[in-house]
Each structure stands twice: as structure tokens, then as C-alpha cells.
A = this chain, B = another copy of it.
Amino acid sequence: VDFDVKDQSLAARGKVRIEWAGAHMPVLAAIRDRFAKEKPLDGLRVAACLHVTTETANLMLALQAGGADVSLCASNPLSTQDDTAAALVEYGIPTFAIKGEDNDTYYKHIDCVLDRDPAITMDDGADLVSVLHKQRVEQMSRIVAGTEETTTGVIRLRQMAADNVLKFPIVAVNDTPTKHLFDNRYGTGQSTLDGITRATNILWAGQHVVIGGYGYGGRGLASRARGLGAQVIVTEVDPVKALEAVMEGFRVMPMIDAARIGDVFITVTGDKDILRREHFEVMKDGAIVANTGHFDVEINKDDLRALTTETREVRDHVVEYLLEDGRKVYLLADGRLVNLAAAEGHPAAVMDMSFADQALTVEWLAKQAGPLKPAVYDVPEDIDREVARLKLQTMGVAIDELTPEQVRYLGSWQEGT
């Protein structure tokens, strides 16, 4: 096996950890079992550029079980787990990823997987697609299709499609309900509070927790923070979302008012400057600020620094900013995704569904009779339902089926009057 990993001796530990994750990814395991029998991906060359984690390892093994010839590189220089990478090599999967690799190595690793002449690409941020379109144009005619895991990647790709520069079809796995309804809501909600707890060991009960943004991430956070006894305050710019928050019993107010009240602030909006100079100026002494949105722009660190006379790390991932007026503000994880920085990101049980979507999407692509036109595609609704069905089954939950009479009734709704 061709590979470039940190230390092959870490493989044993990696295997145990991959198994643990796998035990909490039963949908993917069921798909892997079926793949092993049916070999639907026989001989299909798949190049994946994903976070090299134990969850991703289980996806790779499922594709491999299905007969695919898979290779993997990292989608971020910092997120690689070196023991996982070593274990994957032992499992016979060409893997190119070293935690902390420099930029050149990062792109060299992308070349390594593309050199294997894949028919399918799997992206987490569109880097494979991007390199192909920029530097490896000759190879694109042999690409059947790709998949994309992230919001950011999907937005980029839709723009490329709109500009007519996208040269092969991509399925937007991110956008399917079994991905974003669960991952963004339950995954983010729990793991963000987990990250803040590990960083600070604060008691949530009775705290004023200010949540910037009431999208799916914000809803999950608000629900979980209340579940831990916090008094939740929501800020929003969209009146319909704001009203939903009010009707759920949360306090809603502008950030400038919330800034005076909050003990803990969490941003999750997708926009910049949610917390900025005017907010830092009025925060209570001891306020804790964290971000769980994708980029580290939601908390304006320049503004915070401009008010600061001194900083020091008081716990791992907790930096104290001593402001000119003597107040202290605590910034977690330097404003980066606190659930990944201070905890372990989304639990395997959530990635189970996202990666089951990925595996079934690759199978669906492999089964297409003829070529798809270059465009951004939704995950077929059947796959979404199948993933939900399998998840319920593996949790031991049965549900009803419509009777023929019920189906008929739904089809002739007007008769009900």
C-alpha cells in the first residue's frame, strides 16, 4: 500500500478507536455488511479528502467492503488523527495525512490521491474539486461524479455551476435532512456545550447563556443549554426565527442588551462580528465567549485585543483578556469551533447518518446508467428515507406503515370535506 502517515506503530491503538466509533455507527455498519455481500462498488476508484478521524475510517472501510478502491487524504492540516491514519494503512487503504503537515505537504497529499485516477471524489470543503478544475483539467473527463459534505463547499460549487465552470456532477450531501437536521441540531448542541464544559468546568445551572443565532445550530444549543438549567437568551436578525424562539419560551433581545446580562456567549450564525467592540465594552467581568460557527470570524478578536492590556492562558483553551478598565473576558479556543477544539466534535452516532448518506450516494452514483450532467444534485429522497429507516431499526425503533386505504385517502384528499 502506498501511503504517507506519521507513525505506523500507532496502528494498533487506531484500530481499537476505529472499532469504538464503529460500534456507535450501526447504520454505516449495516451498509458495510450489505456492501460486503453485494459488492456494488466493485473496482470503483474513489478519492476522498476528508477529516481523517475514526468516523471517517469507518466510511472508508464500508466503501472498501463494497469493492471500491479507496484512497484518502486530509481535508484540514490539523484535524488528522495519526493513529487512525496508521490503522487505515494496515487495513490496506492508501492514506496520506499527517497531523500538522505544512501547506505543501497538504497539497502533495491531495495530488497523491488524485494520481490514483479516481472516478468518484468525496470532498469536505471542495478542495479535490478545486484542484481538479485548476491544475488537473485533463483528468476531469474520467471523473464520474463527486460528493460534498459541507455547507461551505456546497455554496462554492453552486456558484461554480451558476457560472457554468463546473465540469462534473456533484451531490450535495450536506443539504439532505438526515444530515443537517441531526448533525447541525443535536450534534452541535451537545458537543458545543461539552467543549465549553471541558474548557472551563463551569456550572450551567442558573447561568445566563447568550446564543447568537437561532438556526439549526442555535436551536440545538438553546434546547440543550436550557436542559442543563441555564437561562437562555437568543439574539437574531430574522424576525420569524426570533418569534419562534420567543414562543419556545426563550428571551430574545438585541446583542447590545444581551451583552450586559450574559455569563456565557456562544455564536453560531455563519456571519462575522456577532460579538464586537460595542459588546465587549459592556460585558460583565468574567464573561466567557465562544464560537461554534464554521469560521473564526463571528467573534471579532481584533476588537477584543484593541481593548486589552494583557492576556494569559488560565486553562487549556481559555485565554483571559484583561481589559483596560479592569474587567476580564475569557475567550475560548481563540474563537475557533469550540466543539472541535476543546472537545471531540460530533459524536459518532451523528456522523453515522451523514456518512451513511455518503456511502449510499456513492452506490447510487455507481449505479447510474448514463452520465449525469455537470450540476449540483440533491441526495435522492429514497436515500434519506433509507438512512432514517436504518437508524431507527438499529436503535430498535419500529414505526407504522400506511395501509392501502390510507394511501388511497391521501391521494384523494378532497373527498374528506
Contacts A297-B409, A314-B16, A403-B273: A228 and B224 contacting too (C-beta < 8 A)?
yes
Partner pick for A227 among B185, B227, B246, CB 8 A cutoff? B227
A405: chain B residues within 8 A (beta carbon): 272-273
A238-258 interface with B by 8 A CB criterion:
238-240, 242-244, 246-255, 257
A380 on interface, CB distance cutoff 8 Å: no
Are B400 and A246 interface neighbours, CB within 8 A?
Answer: no
Are B201 and A389 interface neighbours, CB within 8 A?
Answer: no
Most buried by B among A177, A228, A402: A228
Most buried by B among A236, A270, A272, A344: A272
Are B190 and A272 interface neighbours, CB within 8 A?
Answer: no
A318: chain B residues within 8 A (beta carbon): 20
Contacts A152-B417, A397-B242: A19 and B314 contacting too (C-beta < 8 A)?
yes
- Residue-by-residue, is A14-33 near B (CB-CB < 8 Å gives 1, otherwise 0)? 00110110011000000000
A388 on interface, CB distance cutoff 8 Å: yes
29 CB contacts below 8 A, A to B, read A23-B328, A24-B203, A152-B416, A159-B414, A177-B240, A178-B240, A182-B247, A186-B247, A190-B203, A202-B348, A203-B346, A203-B347, A203-B348, A206-B246, A223-B229, A224-B228, A224-B229, A236-B400, A237-B401, A239-B389, A242-B392, A243-B388, A253-B399, A254-B399, A257-B398, A271-B410, A272-B406, A273-B405, A295-B416
Count residues of A near B (Cβ-Cβ below 8 Å). 99
Most buried by B among A226, A240, A395, A406: A240
Contacts A159-B414, A227-B227: A399 and B240 contacting too (C-beta < 8 A)?
no
* Shortest beta-carbon distance from A149 to chain B in Å: 15
A203: chain B residues within 8 A (beta carbon): 24, 186-187, 190, 346-350
* Shortest beta-carbon distance from A74 to chain B in Å: 16
A205: chain B residues within 8 A (beta carbon): 186, 190, 246-249
Are A399 and B348 interface neighbours, CB within 8 A?
Answer: no
Contacts A194-B197, A240-B177, A240-B388: A206 and B400 contacting too (C-beta < 8 A)?
no
Q: Which residue of B lies closest to A315 (CB)?
A: B20
Contacts A205-B247, A314-B17, A400-B255: A240 and B181 contacting too (C-beta < 8 A)?
yes
Partner pick for A182 among B223, B243, B403, CB 8 A cutoff? B243
A347–B158 Cα distance when bound, in Å, is: 43
- Residue-by-residue, is A162-175 near B (CB-CB < 8 Å gives 1, otherwise 0)? 00000000000000
Q: Which residue of B lies closest to A398 (CB)?
A: B254
A335 on interface, CB distance cutoff 8 Å: no
A107 on interface, CB distance cutoff 8 Å: no
Q: Which residue of B lies closest to A386 (CB)?
A: B239
Are B240 and A384 interface neighbours, CB within 8 A?
Answer: yes
Are A400 and B314 interface neighbours, CB within 8 A?
Answer: no
Contacts A239-B399, A272-B409, A402-B237: A414 and B229 contacting too (C-beta < 8 A)?
no
Are A235 and B273 interface neighbours, CB within 8 A?
Answer: no
A155: chain B residues within 8 A (beta carbon): 413-414
A108: chain B residues within 8 A (beta carbon): none
A185: chain B residues within 8 A (beta carbon): 247
A224: chain B residues within 8 A (beta carbon): 227-229
